[in-house]
Structure 1
């Protein structure tokens, strides 16, 4: 039996809102979230999950509405906590974290911690949904740590190529809890561009 998971990186957020939980999508982000619906609406989606953060939830909201499915919020799919204060030099911080998965600021999370809780949540819903097609509203760093778990050579260089892309989709296929394939989809291109990652 094959379980397919579509990780959806949220659409463009409003960075003027520094609150991680309530940061909303921009007008462009709301428009681009419709491309998520257009791409996934005919993929036989059985369930829709999301990080509790608004930007992730709102990116898959139109899809869930179109499919008449509820969105199940899963706290462990939330984005990595950087610190209790806003970080201006995100690129330098991100590079240090990717070089050392244990590195974190005083009030933040390491990538190791982010990866552990995201993988734990993912394995749980895979076990609960054999032979289903699942969507997860997620975040750039959080879903990148998932990809890294199954493909360890996915590093900072690979992350840098996608960190400014909002939204995108990563498709993972599993036989039980063994990842069989990983594909990246740039849905902002016409037609959507696919790259095999595994």
Structure 2
């Protein structure tokens, strides 16, 4: 049995429009520091992250506390929306949830995001049969992982978690088979 703790990054600085380098806000950094205490009694043996700065910075304190390196996994990155910035994110997101193949020019469909995230997750589960794992990720990426295992997780659920940063979800596996999905941390509630 493995527990995989997916951590949706803490609050980012949206004034930085570059997705890869967008940092955390001061509030986001403080929230990330609180995660160290939350994880101190867990059996964390490996830490992975999206290559995006906000995800790496969210799990860095946990990695330092456990004296572990963070292994970057490109496939855990957030979805690419388009080559530019869009103003109507909510309308775009709803269109994608209504049609998992919908995408803008230069962007990714939710089906593509789900496929690459699940592929990466299955590789990790095959490699690590013991110990618990932390994966730093993003709201849409994590939503697609949850939706893969629980088709009832939908746009309404995505809207509910849209502003929860950080958000920790534990998924327990027996090999690559789902045992349970449990929401653990909802931002300021810890």
TM-aligned CA deviation for residue 187 of structure 1: 4.3
Does residue 50 in structure 1 map to residue 49 in structure 2? Answer: yes
Contact 2:47–2:133 under 8 Å retained in 1: yes
**What is the SS of the residue equivalent to 1:46?**
strand
Q: Deviations over 1:63-85 (max 9, x none)?
A: 10111100000000000000001
In 2, are the aligned partners of 1:36 and 1:187 still within 8 Å (CA)? no
CA distance in 1, matches of 2:24, 2:54: 6
Partner SS, residue 184 of structure 1:
strand
**Unpaired runs of 5+ in structure 2?**
none
| Contact map agreement 2:47 2:135 (CA 8 A) in 1 | yes
The runs of at least 4 aligned residues of structure 1 exceeding 6 Å deviation read none
1:153 aligned to 2:149?
no
Counterparts of 1:23 and 1:189, CA distance in 2? 21
Indicate how the Cα distance of structure 1 residues 189 and 29 shifts in structure 2: closer, same or farther if over 3 A, else same. Answer: closer
Rounded to whole Å, the distance in 2 between the matches of 1:105 and 1:41 is: 42
Shift of 1:54: 0.2
TM-score (norm 1): 0.94
2:20 equivalent to 1:21: yes
**How far apart are the structure 2 equivalents of 1:122 and 1:36?**
22
| Conserved 8 A contact 1:126-1:177 | yes
Shift of 1:132: 2.0
CA–CA separation in structure 2 for the residues paired with 1:140 and 1:114: 11
